[in-house]
Structure 1
């Protein structure tokens, strides 16, 4: 693993830690909150949150509803570094306990993180998460990821 890939992997490990521990400060520290290009697409929002203020508000409110993450198991991780840009694709088995749903919200979470190098640090500027809607059987084909 190259030094740059290792540095990007450190961001990924901290992103996982922030999720598992519901650490808003750690999570927000991973993003370039000053970037005009910052976009955060969570699975529950119709469109992306744009800008540092929107992301900060989201994460400060999210921990009011998200109570615990008992399951967080990485299944796939791919890191690509191209110059001062990097991309992380991950798929995780998750279980979320919230104040909204009576039962745990379980399933595979897919996320893509786009990062840029700012000085010596890597910061997330693009984030997208989703869960699979399995229509392969209905559509007559299946793809393995």
Structure 2
């Protein structure tokens, strides 16, 4: 049984796979973990699908964003994910602060980010980093 790439310690098939197959993550943390796992597995479509439609990365150049995501997934080792803090901003907004432990060509490219999530039509979506850097940028 394959352990989930989100580093929860749970089997992938009962952790993030249901979200990758269409089930909605119930919390911002679950969405965060499922996005990390999607990056690790190269599921670029899921990453894009879970971006808020007003995300600067989608609005600027969606085709280039997809290309950059693909490159990032293919050239990155996803070593660890640590959820540091979660905060509710409002019933429709929340933040998750995390550390992503990553390697590219053997070099440490880990970072910490506070991400903003927004609930839109009953579905949590990633909006943007509030602090830190955006993945793959």
- Which TM-score applies when normalising by structure 2? 0.64
**Which structure: larger Rg?**
1
Aligned to 2:92: 84
> Which one has the bigger strand percentage?
1
Q: CA RMSD in A?
A: 2.7
- The one-character-per-residue Cα deviations of 1:80-104 (angstroms, maximum 9, x if unpaired) are 12221111111122113xxxxxx32
Q: Following superposition of structure 1 onto structure 2, how do residues 21-36 of structure 1 map, counting pairs within 5 Å?
A: 21-33=41-53, 35=54
The ranges of structure 1 where at least 4 consecutive aligned residues each deviate by more than 6 angstroms after the TM superposition are none
Aligned to 2:102: 94
Aligned to 2:126: 124
Ranges in structure 1 where 5+ consecutive residues have no aligned partner:
40-48, 97-102, 131-145
- Matches of 2:33 and 2:72, distance apart in 1: 23
- The one-character-per-residue Cα deviations of 1:31-89 (angstroms, maximum 9, x if unpaired) are 122x2xx23xxxxxxxxx462x5245223234246524334212343111222111111
Ranges in structure 2 where 5+ consecutive residues have no aligned partner:
1-24
* 3-state secondary structure, aligned to 1:32: coil
- Which TM-score applies when normalising by structure 1? 0.61
